[in-house]
Amino acid sequence: MELKKLISPETEKIINDKLLELESLYNNYFYRKNYSKNELKKLNNDVSFELRQAKQKLLRADFVNKKAELKSYKDKRRKEIAENQVKLKVDLNNLKKEITIKRKELDLFIRNTYDDAIKSRQEEIKPLKAELKNSKKDKISKNKAILFNKDINTTNSSKISELKKIYKEECAALDLSCKEEIDKEVNSLDVSLSEKDKKSAVKKIKHNISSKYSELKIDKKINLDHEIAAINQNITDAKTQISTDKRFCKDRIRELNNSVLSLVSAKYSLIYKTNNSHLSVLDRMSRYFKETRYSFDWNVFYRENKAWIYLLPALILLLIFTVYPIINTIRIAFLEGYSPLGSLGGQIFPIGFGNFTKVIKYPGFLTALKNTMVLTILTVPISCFLALIVSVFLNSITKFSRTFQTIYFLPYVTNSIAIGMVFAAMFNIVGLQPVAVESYTGSLQIYNQYVDAEGVLRGFTAESWGIVNYLIMLFGGNPINWINVGSSYVANITVMVIYIIWNALPFKILILLGGLQSVNKQYYEAAKIDGASKGTVFWRITVPMLSPMIAYVVITGFIGGFKEYSSIVGVFGEGMGPAGNAGSLNTIVGMIYDSLSSDNYGRASAAALILFVIILAVTLVNLYVSKKKVHY
């Protein structure tokens, strides 16, 4: 009994095609909608990407051109996009209407087709069901008649009781013959046997014979059961037939009902698909457009502004502690007669150059300027050159290179005041040995040091002249008064130059060594092949390759040199000069501190500004030179 197919394959195909069409319409709709939404953003992204690319790749002039070109392109595109969007809106509205109509049509079509099918299926299976039910009734009643027929039942039971009777008689006969056989065997036993043996023999005989007969009895019983079952066969058959008939009908009817249900479920799944096809399309779309979705997203914001977010804390601190003070310094420098107390009291100060004239007229200013200049101009070139030589050698040794690098770097991590004190000790007198000198009055006086009639400083034993003088004397020279009372300016400056160079070396070596290590070794191999001598390699390969580092070291060296202050404190103490000649080695920064400590903020600010202008000028000169000489 096959049910015929109610939805033809052609109809199924039509529905399927219509569904696909609907989906593609949705696809079109959402794609265009999303695309126009994202177009502007994409344009921005593209243009800024191009710009970045161009900035890296192109020369400056080309870049400016490219920028303008991109800008005009962007404006043009923007206009186009806006126009397109207006057009698109109309298009999309029409499309939406079309989609709605199509959807409703399809919905209706499916409903009609399937409802018809369902109806005809229900009609089709109605007679089948009825037929099934009838035949079920027929068969069951037929079998029930067998089951409850009195004649059959009585003949059956009489036959069975007869069989049982025969069985019982046979069993009794068997028991009897069993007893007889046992007795016979026992009597024929040997008389001479002992009592004990006899007993066990009898037991054995009994066991053997009775087991033989019980087997026979079991056979008989099995036979009997079989025969009874055979007699009852027709009744059991009728019973099983009834249950199978019942089950068969039930199954068939369930099957028929299912055939209707499957049509119903197909109908609803198709209708669901029709009305929700935009969902699957949307899902796909959203994945497609995810990267460029509009609306604020913290993650996106973070990704695009990462740099600024990380820079913010430092930026705030810089604003508070650097930018504001600089602006304030400039302001104060131009306020005549400025005082902080007056400022707090709301006093208005006239603007003018009074502070600058004060600085220039200040007696220590020219000395400070001269000292600063001399120290800077002497130390920067020498220390840079020495650092270059040392780093080239450090780079060329292979054994213990780490150890040496550490040693050369140690001064950098040592406090400069502490180094200053060590220098003072080296150039000073260690372990004073007071000497008795006859004064012009004739009495003996105890001096640490004195200048004799010829102007030579005396007053110490040889070993107390400090290690530098000791060395000088070792090679037969005359001891020099480096930093003590009455020492000459040249001696003082010499000590300071040595000290500052020593102090500045490690940092410069560090930078230059780093630069050297990042130079591709292949250039040196190429130079070797090209037959370059060591000197040529140094001047024509190493120095140009290192030129960015050298420029850096020179520029920072000049800036540091102009800010020299603590080194002089380290060697000479806060007097800024040898005892008896305080201030003779003062620097501009030293002067600024002096002004501050004497509450002269206007003068301090003006001096700071002058220093700033000097440093700016020198740095600009440096940059100008390096632009011509440095290879980046």
Tell me which residues touch other proteins (CB under 8 A): 520, 522-523, 525-533, 536, 540-541, 544-545, 547, 631
The residue behind tokens 């970045």 is: 52
Q: Which is nearer to other proteins, 280 or 533 (CB)?
A: 533
Distance CA 220, CA 217 (A): 5
Contact 253, 129 (CB under 8 A): yes
The DSSP output letter for 320 is I
Euclidean distance between CA atoms 598 and 418, whole angstroms: 27
Per-residue tokens: 219: 């056979």
Three-state SS letters, 277-316: HHHHHHHHHHHHHHHHCCCCCHHHHHHHCHHHHHHHHHHH
Beta carbons of 589 and 561 less than 8 angstroms apart: no
Amino acid identity for residue 582 in this structure? A
User: Can you give the C-alpha Rg of the chain in angstroms?
Assistant: 59
Q: Show the tokens assigned to 623.
A: 């940059």
User: Residue 486 has what DSSP assignment?
Assistant: T
Q: b/e map of 326-357 (b: 16 or more CB within 10 Å)?
A: eeebeebbbbeebbeeeeeeeeebeeeebbbe
**Core vs surface per residue 10-19: b (16+ CB within 10 A) or e:** eeeeebeebb
C-alpha dist (Å) from residue 230 to 161, 233, 593: 14, 5, 132
Cβ–Cβ under 8 Å, residues 139 and 245: yes
CA distances from 347 to 94, 243, 325 (A): 75, 118, 20
In sequence order, which residues have a C-beta less than 8 Å from that of residue 421 and are 6 or more positions away? Answer: 570, 571
202 within 8 A of 142, measured Cβ to Cβ: no
